[in-house]
Amino acid sequence: MSARMIAVLVLLAICSQALASDPSPLQDFCVAIKDTETPVFVNGKFCKNPNYTTADDFFFSGLDKPGDTSNPVGSKVTPVNVMQLPGLNTLGISLVRIDYAPYGLNPPHTHPRATEVLVVLEGTLYVGFVTSNPENRLFTKVLNKGDVFVFPEGLIHFQFNVGHTNAVAFAGLSSQNPGTITIANAVFGSKPPIKDDVLAKAFQVDKKVIDYLQAQFWMDNN
């Protein structure tokens, strides 16, 4: 083999390593098992000059303060993503604090770029997520203080405070900017609005129902 060919092969190997990354999920989830005999195997921002970087670029203060839940859904999400904490850029992780009034709801929503793992600090939450078509399976659990639940990337999920007192949860997300799509807000509160003919057909209801829903104020609790 010529020296030129060897150089080409080395360059290709280096490039393949440089371009390698975790693949995007090919399904809703893949639950891990210890039995190795019966598994199913399934294969920004500009950067600040490092010379000017300080400890404050990696610091955020304020998650000890409760969010204002005096809104129609009774919850408030306080995010700490790359917009609030610049040091998160390129690190693929972020955090939120979620406060819930009694019977407060973090409405059905998705994070198009992140899996979420949530831990309850105070209160009792009814949580769940729905898988993709065609099964649309609902997975739910009632969580108490210290309990943890995972919402797979991109799936519709929610949290509802079923207790008589305030609840607090923290969640980590596998993206510096996970994004949030609140289902009701996106469908009925889009700007400009989706034609009521489209939504009436999709939901199999009278257009008057759609017109009523589109006339509501859709609260963003983020």
Any binding-site annotation on 106?
A: yes
Place of tokens 């990337």: 153
As a whole number of angstroms, the distance between CA 92 and CA 74 comes to 29
As a whole number of angstroms, the distance between CA 101 and CA 69 comes to 6
As a whole number of angstroms, the distance between CA 7 and CA 1 comes to 10
In contact, 170 and 119? CB cutoff 8 Å: yes
Helix ranges (H only) for the chain are 3-19, 183-188, 196-203, 207-214
Any binding-site annotation on 164?
A: no
CA distances from 120 to 100, 114, 160, 169, 184 (A): 11, 19, 12, 4, 25
Contacts of residue 77, defined as CB under 8 A and 6 or more positions apart, other chains included, come to: 67, 96, 97, 98, 106, 180, 221, 222
> Any idea what DSSP says for residue 207?
H
- Which residue type sits at 52? Y
Please name which of 217, 209, 168, 172 lies closest in space to residue 191, comparing C-alpha atoms. Answer: 217
Any binding-site annotation on 157?
A: yes
Bind-site residues: 106, 109, 111, 116, 157
Binding-site annotation, residues for Mn(2+): 109, 111, 116, 157
| Binding site listing for oxalate | 106, 111, 116
